[in-house]
A and B are shown apart, each in its own frame.
Chain A
Amino acid sequence: MLKTLNQKLSLFLILFASGYLYLTYNLKEYPYVPVDSDFVPKVLGYVLIVLAVFLYFDKSSETKEEKEKRTIPKKEILVLLAVGAMIFLYIFLLELLGFVLSSMLFVFGCSLFLGYRNHKVNVIVSVIFPLVMYLSFNYLLQIKLPQGILPF
């Protein structure tokens, strides 16, 4: 039943739209307007289901180019996940350590992990870039980035 990629995507979209519609039908009613806040979401939910059905029966097969784009070696998936985890960790540490320190760690660590071997340049960039960003945001643009444990 779920042979093609389109059919799998379609099923997922129908589930998503159903969940969305379920929430829509549980929205609070507001009696004093002719068109309530659930009108547009309801239309969208049903439109998505109709489109997903179209996608299910869409026979156009993937082009070679599209298929190639979709095949990722296992090792690369791990690399992508690792970078995702690093960004996650960065967000987590941002307000604890402050922008400067966490960015230094991230730029140096992420570049190193992705195979950047010029350590001298890496250290220089990962120290100067966050400092310049921090100072220009804080003092030129008046946007206070998280200070963290540093005194300035």
Chain B
Amino acid sequence: MAGKRKIRILVAKPGLDGHDRGAKIIARGFRDAGFEVIYTGLHQSPEQIVEAAIQEDVDVIGLSSLAGAHNHLFREVLRLLKEKGAEDIPVFGGGIIPDEDIPKLKADGILEIFTPGTKVEDVVKWVEENIHPRG
């Protein structure tokens, strides 16, 4: 298939959490896998993340949270995407997410959750299999 566009991915750190080691390693892994990566940097509000996703016209958003505020922040990103009519942008997440929260987040629309110990290549593979360049 000629002219197949690269996957554009937004890696985002919502909230006040400063743990960015994982997000940066994943962002670099995505770049090495040939994706176009936009990393928001730290301390982004859900509003800023959704705005960046729409402006950058990304195919998927990856959220990272390691300080326990994922339930509020991940859902807020989903809610705002819907509010802006951009709910077709899929969202996945990673970080320190207790097992019991995972099915609830998925039921609410987070496509997948990756927890500590996941290989970078496995996340890359998941993106390649599940995300397709839009438009």
Do the two chains belong together in a single complex? Answer: no
Please give the residue numbers on chain A whose beta carbons come within 8 Å of chain B beta carbons, in ascending order. Answer: none
Task: Please list the residues of chain B having a beta carbon within 8 angstroms of any beta carbon in chain A.
Answer: none
